[in-house]
Structures are given as structure tokens and as C-alpha cells.
Amino acid sequence: MSGRTAERRTGGPAERTSGGTARLFVNAAQVVTCAGPPRARRGSEMNDAGVRTDVGVAVVGDRIAEVDSVAALRERFPGASEFDCRGGVLTPGLVDSHTHGIFGRPRYEEQEMRAAGLDYMEIARRGGGIHSSVRDLRAQSEDTLIVLARARLRRLASFGTTTIELKSGYGLTLEDELKTLRVIARLAAELPMRIVPTFLGAHEIPLEHRVSDAARRGYIETLIHEMIPAVASQRLATFADVFCEQGVYSPEESRAILDAARDAGMLLKLHADELAPSGGAELAASLGATSADHLAAVSDEGIDALASAPTVATLLPGTMLFLGKSRHAPARRFIDAGVPVALASDFNPGTSPTPNLPLVLMLGVSQLRLSVAEAMTAATVNGAAALALADRVGQIAPGYSADLALFEIADVRELPYWYGDNRCVASFVCGKPCHTSNLDIT
Ligand code: NIG
Ligand code: FE
């Protein structure tokens, strides 16, 4: 798989359809299709990642056209160009459905503070944590934030991620939240990755609004009556999210904010039960949120509530690892209860500064006790469902967007095995190159 990949034509004019030129992905040791219904997978469905050998993938224009034997594809698409997968494993482009990728400086100093015994919430109470990133982001220009985020998002893509959800939430004023969301919109227009914007103006109560109960209520009023309408009218966010946690937003406050967001046309997410159980999962379920995220401290009632909701449980084991916690979200209990599980990086400067989604898959297997197939489903189909994209992203199946990742491994079980190593050699979004390592890909 090393060296440069040559494109070759099978002869004759390249077949053109209204969608564009055909290209065949050939010589993959395995194609992990994750093919199936266009919705989140639950229970035993998660354990089938649709691993196929001896097949290629035909892409026409920006879509997957067919998965079949290479001989059959060559017959069906005479003259198609070919991309040589060189014995690697081809998967749907990975979906990172929870990140806070727009920030200024990294917060490496907090790591030693935690090692010395201060916990995450104590650091926040002292004005660090999210507050520190807020002070910093407010001082940065839109252009500087673009430069910083561009490089970071390319790192996420270099590990095989092709879809990235990006939250605002380090601005916490109307102006700074809009600035962040404009940065996301500009990056979405410029970068090859598929980017999904989320408004997280309720990431913290800003320090200047923590001085009194009235000031705190004032910020929530601003969120509901100024920020959400502005974000919605400028169409800057698909989702709205709230950090529902003891000491941050209560379930009642979270509900009021998310009700307003839904009324303004946004889909809903919730940071729920990350550090302590506070009824977040139950709230996400009762709101019909698209996802409830974190859930390391979810209650039994929360699991039951999610089991009868459409909500995806997005688990973020990198965060618990980085915070030095031994507890993890009860992934097996979610799966046994029929709750669809997604895995994401939570990429952010405070609790999970890793761009490496395959590393999170490793944690999914080693800490959350998922099978490799379940972990793959969690980072493809179910990640797409957590972004309301399950009908077009996350599968290598006819009609799906040609979002693909190629890994320099011979068996998909190697992906969560060589942990920390980057085996991604190429990725594509809508059939166009997204990340390329040393391959000559056009
Ligand atoms: O998902 N919990 C809230 N938000 C982030 C952390 C953000 C930060 O510490 O900067 C999270 O862990
Ligand atoms: Fe988060």
C-alpha cells in the first residue's frame, strides 16, 4: 500500500451518467459496507458491519452506485477509472458527531492541575475550564479562528473522519457565538469535509452572568429571545445543544432553551449526565432529541427513557479517559436495552483534545466492551443518525454519498488495534478527495 497510487482506465470512453464519471474502487481486502436500513441501528443490528471480501465499489459522480465483484463492476461500467486500494480496508468515511473544534489556545495547563487533584468542575469554579476558552475566543478574530480550526480539522480528517459536527459555545455573547458560527460556515464552504453546525450558546453560564440569580436568568432570556432567533434567521446552525449538568444548566433551564430552539426550527442535542446524573437522558428522550451525549453518569431511568425514544446515545470515552475517570458510559446496557449507540471524539481543548476517531473506537472496544462491528456501526451509521444524516451518509450502499475512508490494514479488526497509529491513507467526500497521505489521488 505504500508509494503512489496510479489511476488507470479499463479502456474505452469513461462512462458518463447525469451524475458524472464512474470510478471503481478495487483491490480492497475488505469493504466494510455498514449497509442496511437508512436509520440508527439498535441491539443486535449494531453487530453487523456488513464486512465483504472480494468486492469493489462503483462510484458515479458523488454517489455510491454499486457494490459487487470487480469483474461485474468492470462489465457494468466499461471505461471507468480505477482506484487501487492496494489490499487495504475501505470503510464509510467516519462520522464524528460531537466536537467543539472552534477554539483559540489549547488548555494543556489544566492537565497537570487535574493530576494534582483539582477536578474538572473545580477548575471551572475557579474561572478556568470553559471560561478560560471563552475569554480567549472572545479576543480572537474570525480570521485567526479560521486558521486555527482549519489545521485542526485537517488533523481530524487525516484519521479517516469525513463528517464533523462542530459546536459553537466558547463565545457566550450574541456577537461571539455568531462569530464562531460564521467561522464554521466559512470552513464548511472551504474544506472538503462534510461539516454540521451546532449552536451551543448554553455551554456555560458566562462568568459575568454568574454574579446573581437575576443575571443568570438574564443570560437564559438572551439565549431564548436574542441568540436563538438570530442563529435561526441567519441559518447558521442545524442543531442546538445545552450542557445540562449540576452547576451548569438545570434540566428545567435546558428544556426551556431547547423548546425555543425547536420552535425556531433547529434539531436538538443535549450534553447529558456527563459527570453526575441530573435527568439529562430523560430530558433528551422526552424532547425527542436527535442525540443525548456523554451519559457516563446516566441513571437506570435515563436508560429506560432513551430505550423508548428516537434519540441516539452518543458516547465519548476519550473524554473520560482524558479526565482521568475510571467510570465509562454503560454502553452494553444501552445496546441491550435497544438504545442506538454512536461513538464520537468530543474533540475540544479541555476534556478531549484528540483528533483520532479510530483511537476512540479502540476505547469503545477496550473500555465500553463493544465488538469491532458495533464500534464501526457507532462511528458510521449511528454517527450519521446522530446528525440526522442516516439516509445519505455512513454506509457504502447504492445511493449513499461517496464518503469513503481507506485504511492501510488487511482486516477491520486492526482499526481499533494499532491504537494511536494513523492507518488512514485516503478519504473521499462526495467522491472527491478529502484526505490523502502519500497517495497521488485526483
Ligand atoms: O463535552 N462538557 C462540556 N463541554 C465539553 C468540554 C468543553 C471544555 O472543557 O472546553 C465536553 O466535555
Ligand atoms: Fe462536548
The pocket around ligand 1, CB under 6 angstroms, is made up of 100, 129-130, 133, 243, 271, 274, 319, 346, 348-351
Residue whose CA is at the smallest distance from ligand 1 atom 3: 243
- Whole-model pTM: value is 0.95
What integer pLDDT is reported at residue 9 of this predicted model?
43
By most ligand atoms within 8 Å of CB, the mutation choice from 152, 203, 316 for ligand 1 is: 203
Q: What is the dihedral of CA 237, 307, 327, 294, to 10 degrees?
A: 0
Residues with CB under 5 A from ligand 2 (ion): 346
- 154 CB-near residues (< 8 Å, 6+ apart): 191, 435
Report the phi/psi class of residue 79: left, alpha or beta, with left for phi > 0 and alpha for psi in -120 to 50. Answer: left
The CATH number fitting domain 95-385, selected from 3.20.20.140, 3.90.1170.50, 3.40.50.300, 3.50.50.60: 3.20.20.140
**Distance from residue 392's CA to the centre of ligand 2 (Å):** 24
| SS3 assignment, position 392 | coil
Q: SS in 3 state form for 182-228?
A: HHHHHHHHHCCCEEEEEEEEECCCCHHHCCCHHHHHHHHHHHHHHHH
Nearest CA to ligand 1 atom 12: 351
Q: Whose Cα sits closest to atom 8 in ligand 1? A: 350
Ordered per-residue pLDDT tens for the chain, 442 residues: 443 333 444 433 333 344 568 999 999 999 999 999 999 999 999 999 999 999 999 999 999 999 999 999 999 999 999 999 999 999 999 999 999 999 999 999 999 999 999 999 999 999 999 999 999 999 999 999 999 999 999 999 999 999 999 999 999 999 999 999 999 999 999 999 999 999 999 999 999 999 999 999 999 999 999 999 999 999 999 999 999 999 999 999 999 999 999 999 999 999 999 999 999 999 999 999 999 999 999 999 999 999 999 999 999 999 999 999 999 999 999 999 999 999 999 999 999 999 999 999 999 999 999 999 999 999 999 999 999 999 999 999 999 999 999 999 999 999 999 999 999 999 999 999 999 986 666 5
The residue type found at 384 is A
At 360 the three-state DSSP class reads: helix
The ligand 1 atom at the shortest distance from the C-alpha of residue 98 is: 1
What is the atom index within ligand 1 of the atom nearest the CA of 346?
Answer: 1
CA quadruple 1, 399, 81, 194: dihedral sign: negative
Atom of ligand 1 nearest to the CA of 349: 10
Domain boundaries in the chain? 13-92+393-435, 95-385
63 Cβ contact partners less than 8 Å away, ≥ 6 residues apart: 19, 398, 399, 400, 401, 402, 431
Q: How far is Cα 152 from Cα 397, in angstroms, rounded to an integer?
A: 30
Q: How far is the CA of 243 from the centre of ligand 2 (A)?
A: 8
Q: Strands (DSSP E) along 339-431, which ranges?
A: 341-343, 404-407, 424-429
Query: pLDDT value at position 442?
Result: 59
Backbone angles phi, psi at 89, to 5 degrees: -110, 125
- pLDDT, residue 441, reads 64
Ligand 1, atom 2, lies closest to the CA of: 243
Q: What is the rounded distance in angstroms from the CA atom of residue 388 to the CA atom of residue 384?
A: 6
| pLDDT at residue 437, as a whole number | 86
> Closest Cα to atom 1, ligand 1: which residue?
346
Q: 100, 121, 244: which to mutate for ligand 1, most atoms within 8 A of CB?
A: 100
CATH classification of 13-92+393-435, choosing from 2.30.40.10, 3.40.50.300, 3.40.1010.10, 3.20.20.80? 2.30.40.10
Amino acid at 260: A
Cell of 228: 436563538
**Per-residue confidence (pLDDT) for residue 45, from 0 to 100:** 98
Specify the pLDDT at position 15: 35
Residue with cell 464548511: 188
Nearest-atom number in ligand 1 for the CA of 274 is 2
> How far does residue 315's CA lie from ligand 2's centre (Å)?
10
Q: Output the 3-class SS for 22-50.
A: EEEEECCCEEECCCCCCCCCCHHHHHCCC
For residue 251, report the distance from its CA to the centre of ligand 1, in Å: 17
